[in-house]
Amino acid sequence: MAVAVAHDPSSGSGQAHGVDRLYAETRELRINGFLLFMVSDLVLFSSFIFAYLYLRQTGQGWPPPGISRLDVAFAAFNSVVLFGSGATMHFALENWKHGNFNKYAGWMLATIVLGAGFLSGQGYEYWTLYTKFHASWSGAGIFGASFFTLTGMHGFHVFMGICYLTILFLQTVGGVYTKQKYAGLTMGTLYWHFVDIIWVFLFSMFYLWQ
């Protein structure tokens, strides 16, 4: 007598197929949700940027008394470091998609190191402004409130991005992602490009428009 055996979806190829189908169905939803998060972050930055632009046109002169113009050359170098990290992050993702783990690891670690380098440069600039000109968040009028708030918010995003990319790297080493399943890496790349784009506006606004 033939015995009908119910198929267990949690076993064998059924499990793999189920996981693959679930991943395919949720991947776009997760990425779209992440994009909405970045849109909300963009609204936050935009609010502060437009407030600064308005106050600058109606308030004190620029730069404020006692503060020389910002060091454009140093900021430009620091910007190249950050933008370079955007390129290395792109190469990291592309090499992961093509199954080149060693190249992916090299580019990913380079991204993390360059991001940390950018933060170090920003910290040095803050220290210089404070020690040479006594500029602080509350001690330099519109300049202090706007510059330290906006660049500080951006720096915090870079720091969180470094933490995020470090976690992603450890996950790839641990086998969480595969050549076909790498939504987390895609979102990490999108986030890193986001901080690059925001810095384009901040660099133009605070350093080039003086």
Please give the full DSSP string across 145-156, using - where no structure is assigned: HHHHHHHHHHHH
- pTM assigned to the model: 0.84
CA atoms within 13 A on the CB side of 102: 0
> Rounded mean pLDDT of 9-25?
54
> Would the pLDDT of 31 be above 50?
yes
196-199: which pairs have CB atoms within 8 A and are 24 or more residues apart?
A: 196/82, 196/83, 196/85, 196/86, 198/42, 198/45, 198/154, 198/157, 199/79, 199/82, 199/83, 199/154
Exposed/middle/buried for 116, CB within 10 Å: 0-12, 13-18, 19+?
Answer: middle
> Rounded mean pLDDT of 14-18?
48
Exposed/middle/buried for 9, CB within 10 Å: 0-12, 13-18, 19+?
Answer: exposed
Domains and CATH numbers, the chain: 35-208 (1.20.120.80)
CA distance 106 to 80: 19
Instruction: Assign 117 to helix, strand or coil.
Output: helix
Lowest mean pLDDT among 3-12, 73-82, 176-185: 3-12
> Would the pLDDT of 138 be above 70?
no
CA distance 210 to 207: 6
